[in-house]
Amino acid sequence: MDSSVKKLFDAVARDYDRQRRQLIPCFDDFYGTALSLVESESPAPRIIDLGAGTGLFSGMVLQKYPNASLTLMDLSDKMLEGARERFRGAGNVKYVVGDYSDFAFSETYDIVISSLSIHHLTHPAKRQLFATIYKFLREGGIFVNADQCQGNSAYTDQVYRRRWLAAIHESGLSQQAIDASIERRKVDINAKVSDQIAWMEEAGFSDVDCMYKNLDFAVFFGRKLPLA
């Protein structure tokens, strides 16, 4: 992953959680749908959050599965500092500072989650990551990715951006925070919903679908079928 992405997120680590709701106009439905899809027959599933940041999504998941074994991975140690503060005293949470796009994963997981992170990868890197996730996901496991997506045309992308800009300008954020967010989005490499579904299916995932979409915010789901 590009080092410029790390620098941009290091710079906003302290305020990231507080601003997230204001920067995502559909915050409740977006995260609510993603959380509802994180389901396990085990009361203590093994879960990894890729690009976990300050642990916002992981925190929601841990409330749903308090006995889960949770691994948070992020390129930015400063972002993970926020996660360490959030989960202070939790013995079932581990932290990995690293780039998940080229990390040598040695463990397997029941559930893989990610939110607003994978869109920073190039398209070939996204495809490779989906294949990697499939490999270290246990049979019967699921992958839930709440992320950004590209429109099907330049026109729809313009609509997405125009509406997002209008929403954040009405959100109460300071101009400095708005400017910083616009700067961060310059490094986005959004992919079309259809392409992301195709790449997940190519990796081996079954029942792949976009389970929620509001403009350029989408929640993807796929599962690794249990052995017959």
pLDDT for 11 beyond 80: no
Q: d(Cα 117, Cα 36) in Å, to the nearest integer?
A: 19
pLDDT for 6 beyond 90: no
Mean predicted confidence (pLDDT) in 177-205: 95
Model confidence pLDDT, tens digit, residues 43-89: 999 999 999 999 999 999 999 999 999 999 999 888 899 899 999 98
Judge: domain 3-223, CATH 3.40.109.10. no
End-to-end alpha carbon distance in the chain: 37
pTM (predicted TM-score): 0.92
Mean predicted confidence (pLDDT) in 16-30: 86
**Number of C-alpha atoms within 13 angstroms, CB side, residue 91?**
0
